[in-house]
Structure 1
Amino acid sequence: MNLKSVFKNLGPGPIIAAAFIGPGTVTVCTLAGVNFGFSLIWALGLSVIATVILQEISGRLGLITGKDLSQLIRSQKGNPAVRYFSMGLVLIAIGLGNAAYESGNISGTNLGLQVFWEAPTLGFSGIEIHLGNLLLGILAFLLLWLGNYKALERVLVGLVIFMSLAFTAAAILTKPDWSAVFAGFIPSWNDANLPTLVALIGTTVVPYNLFLYASLAKNRWSGSSDIPWMRRDIVISIVFGGIVSMAILMVGAANVSAQITSALDVSKGLEGVFGSFAKYLMGFGLMAAGLTSSITAPLAAGLVICGIMGWDQGIRSKSMRASMGAIVGLGLIFASLGIKPIQLITLAQLANGVLLPLISGWIIWVASQKDILGDFRNKPFYTILAALIWLITLVLGLKSILAVLGISL
């Protein structure tokens, strides 16, 4: 098997990488590097392992059953009350969650845009409308409205590759202390870095990506014979995405800015390495990251909403266009409430870290059922490994809630 064959048969994995390398990744990884150096790189390594395992399970579910996760929830047998409760929970978690997440994506993209153009803010009846957010939201919706899956994949992969090369080159040019970098793979945490640690996991192991990959995988491949290709696809894409996240953290660790509130603040700390080009590098990185996630978040939410409701999931169907439009619209409203973008992005990532155990636990349970996957269900060792990952995310999520409430264990 040659390298050309591997890349030719890559599937939607790069879209998943495009989804989690969003403005939240750039912001959280940068802040992790600024505040804690290389000490939390291990969290990104754990996130890569967790993401590969959970996305493989979701992809396998899609291939074997021919249904995505939302369709599986809708068609599950047993107590109707449990089924309707599950459907409602997913609609709320993914629908409203992705709308809030979309607001962070749009706001993050606008942070990058501010490097090139400071869009005006318009006021209507006490509500501030950021013109940059509005224009970027419209752009994301137009790409979803006019595009198809293959066209979107090309746009997303192109943006991610260009952005990834920029951040990886930036990390190398900062000339990091490699012994300190490798020491960062040794797990350690404390009360001060716990919220950032949870956010790092949340920015990589994104709940809606589990639904998105199952849906895209079942359309890309057919049946159990393509499981090896699906696994290669997700491993290559997620590992590559994880390396990019680590590069962003390393760039953050080289930052000497006293306070980080915008892309300009980040770029100022890198002027010693890149000179005046630093702000344009960071601006483009945030814009590319934001646009990729601004497209994938409504796409995933639309697939989930239509799957749960039994509607047509074709990207040009009325139901998909209405669902995606609703997510983008709500994201624009949330982004216009006067919350500082960097706070919005960080809180969205923290919420993902808390939400993850609920969704990943259900996926692990479904994949262990013989009546659903037959001989392709999780093997005992794999279930134990997945359960350990679920337990880690659960503990971290609970700790973050207690930290917010001011309760220490």
Structure 2
Amino acid sequence: MSSRTVSSVVRGFSIRRFFDQYGLAFVMVASYFGSGSVFIASSAGVQFGYGLLWAAAGAVLLGFMAQDMSARLGIFGDSLASFTREKIGAPGATALMVLLSVGCVAWALALTAAVGQGIVVLFGLQSIGWQPFAVATGLLAMVIGILSYDFVERVMVTMMFGLLIAYLVVLSGSSPDVGAVVSGFVPGVSEAGSMALAVSILGTTALWPNFFLESKLVAQKGWNSAADVPIMRRDLSIGYFIGGLTTVAILIVAAAVLRPAGYTQLDTFLTPGRALSAVLGDWAMTLFLVGTVAAAFNSIVPIMWAPAYMIPDAMGERFDGNSRLFTAIYVGGVGLGCLSPLVQQVLQLSVVDMIVLFPAYNGVVGLPVTALLLFWAVNDSETMGDRTNGWKLNVVNSLLILLAVYSAWTGGQAVFDAIFSGGF
């Protein structure tokens, strides 16, 4: 066999085989890795150097375990929304899903604003403003989101790898302290305020819409038996490794470049880009902006898929991802997410305020509710049969619940006050 033939076989196997078996985790990781995650990771590096790398690693492990439980629920039981309907009835479950979906729309508002602002800065279009581009972003997300799942999955995987490469290129131009990087993976909260930011890193990774999505979308991959669990876990391992590596790269760049340059806080999610441009050259600014825009847009589709799956499941509707109801809910939700310019005017919130506060709202409202539902579901023998959680998984899931409750308890009042009082 010629070398050209061997090369063709390898390429055909690697690409087709990968998408046949894997890829779902990238949709999950892409949904949490938005502009808020970029801002939080950068803030961690600026304020505490390498000291919170352990939180980034812990977030990956926690997210992996939560998604594993959600996937097993879908494989051995049913979707999380269907489980909720079976336990509290269709009217109550539908009302709960609609309430939770408000948080998804809030996320979309923040993400369309972030993409719009990123485009304006990237192309020097300040005279136009970010608002028209936010609306255009929503319209594009509508089109992509109603295409076939396989196509969307490939788009998410491609953009996620592109995002990782962009940040690794920037990282290659910095000179981090290797010893300090290694010590940063040892847990510690010696500085005031570091624990709050560590909780933010953990909370933004344990994204509650993914608990609904994973339990629903395993069927799209054909995972429906115990034999598929190892494949599902390899998929999660690959996806969360890439997502975690990207988070770590952002944090290290901020610690190695911004902190020594005298930055102590970030005024906007674009501040790291401006600083990197001054230190490393204009190419770093461009890569940072491209990465930030890609991260924000990447999150819109899977986050707004969640209500389109959750609400019909809660109503007891049986459908595939191409149904009219799915399309109507998805398009309607993204349409509301296009209204970020109007929300800015009404609530007097800046783009940065929306990027930080709307995900925080979801951490206060959506995460505790969903974490409790998931814990209930994976321990319900009527749903899971003999595949209920063991004690080890229950310990991990309990940590997720404690994190969710702690975040809501400590930050809830401040989040609502900031949203309705014009931001920070």
Q: Aligned partners of 1:159 and 1:369: how far apart in 2?
A: 37
Show structure 2 runs of 5+ residues with no match: 1-9, 418-424
Task: Note the 1:356-395 alignment, pairs <5 A.
Answer: 356-395=367-406
TM-score (norm 1): 0.88
TM superposition shift of 1:246: 1.3
TM superposition shift of 1:264: 4.4
Task: Note the 1:10-409 alignment, pairs <5 A.
Answer: 10-65=22-77, 67-76=78-87, 80=89, 84-93=91-100, 95-114=101-120, 115-118=122-125, 130-145=131-146, 147-189=147-189, 192-220=193-221, 221-253=223-255, 254-255=257-258, 256=261, 257=263, 260-262=266-268, 264-311=270-317, 313-338=319-344, 339-354=349-364, 355-401=366-412
Residue range with higher mean Cα deviation, 8-17 or 206-215:
8-17
Match of 1:125 in 2: none
Q: Aligned partners of 1:362 and 1:241: how far apart in 2?
A: 25
TM superposition shift of 1:11: 4.0
Q: 1:151–1:117: structure 2 CA closer, same or farther, 3 Å change rule?
A: farther
Q: Aligned partners of 2:361 and 2:253: how far apart in 1?
A: 25
CA RMSD of superposed structures (Å) = 2.6
Q: Aligned partners of 2:316 and 2:279: how far apart in 1?
A: 53
3-state SS of 2:343 partner? coil
Show structure 1 runs of 5+ residues with no match: 123-128
CA contact (8 A) 1:11 1:217 kept: no
Size of the alignment, in residue pairs?
A: 392
TM superposition shift of 1:162: 0.7
Q: Percent identity?
A: 26
For residue 35 of structure 1, what is the amino acid of its counterpart? Q
For residue 133 of structure 1, what is the amino acid of its counterpart? A
For residue 248 of structure 1, what is the amino acid of its counterpart? I
TM superposition shift of 1:404: 6.0
TM superposition shift of 1:60: 0.4
Residue range with higher mean Cα deviation, 180-189 or 208-217:
180-189
Residue range with higher mean Cα deviation, 9-18 or 205-214:
9-18
Q: Aligned partners of 1:402 and 1:289: how far apart in 2?
A: 28
3-state SS of 1:270 partner? helix
TM-score (norm 2): 0.85
Q: 1:334–1:107: structure 2 CA closer, same or farther, 3 Å change rule?
A: closer
Match of 2:3 in 1: none
TM superposition shift of 1:388: 2.9
Residue range with higher mean Cα deviation, 349-358 or 156-165:
349-358
